[in-house]
Structure 1
Amino acid sequence: MSSILTNHSAMTALSTLRQINTSLSDTQSRISTGLQIASGKDNAAYFSISKTMAGDSGMYKAIDENLTLQQNAVSTARLGAETVVDLAKDFAERVAFAQGGTQEVRDDVQAELDELAARMSTTIAQATFNGTDYVNSTGAVTVVTGISRSTTGVIATTTMTFNMQDLGAIQSAMAAVDLSAATTTALQQTALQTAETQLSAAIASATALGIAERSIETQKDFLGELTDRLDSGIGSMIDANMEEEAARLQALQVQQQLATQSLSIANSAPQNILSLFR
């Protein structure tokens, strides 16, 4: 049955063309944005997971930036401590040289010791980074190293702790050594023991700061790898496969052309009815 009021063929062709145009629009959107899942309507589960993971990745990157500041501060403190170790070593050697020496020798060595103590003081004063001073006091420093998320969604921070080092106390103890007044063997040996003790303390301080710096560096490496994995995982869920989208675009363009021709043919069908009235 043919009708000039209802063209079923045209309706079917129009519906097909509408569906093709919708698919073509979606494909063009994926190509232009590079995203297969751009909103919750595309895939609610993947969208939710990817946004949560993206938030975690952003927090890890922010924490990594803070760790960079901490690493620089600890590295500066370690450099200061290692310089103090070198100076303390020279100090102890000069005290050992003066053992049993004459008053004149001890006076000359004391002048050297005063200079070494002054250089220690300068080094310690300069071993700070952006106002952060880890070499003039004691106490623990807690650094945030990352976040953890439980299966129930509860988020918490992870931390590491290291101790500040009081290099100023080491310098003060060495600056108090007075070989000029050490007129007896016992006093000279006491001065030597003081120098040796403070050298050991300086070595321990430099070692502790080196361990802290290495721990921060290791954590930064881990965070870098972790954020790369998170970003890669996000991409695998929401990024569009551009090869597939390119092939799909060409196929849909061909389908669109054919559907348009089909609709044109269906719309011209009622014209054939005129031949029945000739």
Structure 2
Amino acid sequence: MNSINTNVGAMQALQMLNATSKELNATQARISSGLKIASAKDDASGWVMAQGQRAQIRALDAVKESLSRNGSVVDVAMTAGESISDLLMELKEKALAASDPSLNTTARRALNDDFVAIRNQIAQSIRNATFNGVNLLNGSRTSIAALANADGSDTLTVMAQNLSLGGSILTLSSGAGFASAMSAQGLIATLDSSISNISVAMARLGASSRALDRHTTFIGKLQDTLEVNVGRLVDADMAKESSKLQALQLKQQLAIQTLSVANRSQSFLLQLFGR
């Protein structure tokens, strides 16, 4: 019904235009940001879920840093331990050579000087096996622990291996040396025991290093999965949104045309009544 006082058609057209413009703005915002849920206003429950998973992803960054830091501590200890193992073999070689009864005193003394220098190098290697203030070989620690999950309730423990001279692993004393063939012979069994023990100790550290590496890989995959889940929750379907944008732009144009026609109709009625 046409009315001079109320232009129903124009009102309906304006309502349609306003609704279309609002939807168009929302679609353009989704395309611009790439997100269908950019804030809690868009979808409260979806936003809360996404934020929770984002928080977990960031917490797992701290876990990876802890794993990496502790992995470096273990790597430094293993490098030193492998070097010490080689030095122990050199010590055995010197002791074995010095155990030869036919060797003269001067030659045996030279071998002992080499032996002492290598022994001191072992002690220095133990002291220097430090990363970030942590040393797994000098007896200052019994273990270290790396974060294993996002809430800090679980850890991965690495047991220290005390390689101090005269200890349970390196049974060779810190003052070991020889002045005779007999004393050199007596060191061979001690060195054999130390070589065997350090091999076991390095195997333990190697197993711990592999465990840290495996867990680091797992944490990375877990983060990737969470990132995908967040994307499914909040990312816009760009193809769908682009198609919707075109449809809304056309709908907006039609609404503008409809409003224009409705306004012209009102003007026509006014002309009929001489207004």
TM-score over 0.5 for the pair? yes
Separation (CA, whole Å) in 1 of partners of 2:135 and 2:273 = 103
Give the equivalent residue in structure 2 for 1:113: 115
| 1:178 corresponds to 2:177 | yes
Partner residue of 2:131 out of 112, 129, 132:
129
Separation (CA, whole Å) in 1 of partners of 2:184 and 2:66 = 48
Q: Deviations over 1:3-62 (max 9, x none)?
A: 111111011101100110110110111112111011223222221111111101100011
Separation (CA, whole Å) in 1 of partners of 2:93 and 2:212 = 34
Separation (CA, whole Å) in 2 of partners of 1:114 and 1:165 = 23
Give the equivalent residue in structure 2 for 1:142: 145
Separation (CA, whole Å) in 2 of partners of 1:123 and 1:189 = 25
Range moving further from structure 2, 242-251 or 77-86:
242-251
Normalised TM-score (structure 1): 0.89
| 1:269 corresponds to 2:265 | yes
Give the equivalent residue in structure 2 for 1:16: 16
Give the equivalent residue in structure 2 for 1:251: 247
Amino acid corresponding to residue 142 of structure 2 in structure 1: G
| 1:68 corresponds to 2:64 | no
Amino acid corresponding to residue 230 of structure 2 in structure 1: I
SS at 2:146's partner residue? strand
Give the equivalent residue in structure 2 for 1:46: 46
Separation (CA, whole Å) in 1 of partners of 2:45 and 2:238 = 22
Separation (CA, whole Å) in 2 of partners of 1:53 and 1:253 = 35
Identity of aligned residues (%): 29
Partner residue of 2:186 out of 177, 186, 190:
190
Contact 1:179–1:188 (Cα < 8 Å) also in 2: yes
Q: Deviations over 1:170-192 (max 9, x none)?
A: 56834432221x464xx444311
Give the equivalent residue in structure 2 for 1:150: none
Separation (CA, whole Å) in 2 of partners of 1:67 and 1:173 = 33
Separation (CA, whole Å) in 1 of partners of 2:50 and 2:175 = 63
Partner residue of 1:224 out of 213, 220, 225:
220
Separation (CA, whole Å) in 1 of partners of 2:42 and 2:270 = 48
Amino acid corresponding to residue 58 of structure 1 in structure 2: R
Contact 2:98–2:181 (Cα < 8 Å) also in 1: no
Separation (CA, whole Å) in 1 of partners of 2:206 and 2:48 = 42
Q: How many residues align?
A: 268
Amino acid corresponding to residue 14 of structure 1 in structure 2: L
Normalised TM-score (structure 2): 0.90
Separation (CA, whole Å) in 2 of partners of 1:30 and 1:165 = 57
Separation (CA, whole Å) in 2 of partners of 1:277 and 1:233 = 65
Contact 1:88–1:202 (Cα < 8 Å) also in 2: no
Gaps of 5+ in 2: none
Amino acid corresponding to residue 268 of structure 2 in structure 1: N
Q: CA deviation at 1:277?
A: 4.0
| 1:206 corresponds to 2:202 | yes
Give the equivalent residue in structure 2 for 1:237: 233
Q: Deviations over 1:92-147 (max 9, x none)?
A: 22222322434524323211211211221222222211222111115122221223
Q: CA deviation at 1:66?
A: 1.9
SS at 1:169's partner residue? coil
Q: CA deviation at 1:80?
A: 0.3
SS at 1:146's partner residue? coil
Contact 2:171–2:193 (Cα < 8 Å) also in 1: no
Separation (CA, whole Å) in 1 of partners of 2:59 and 2:152 = 12
Contact 2:14–2:259 (Cα < 8 Å) also in 1: yes
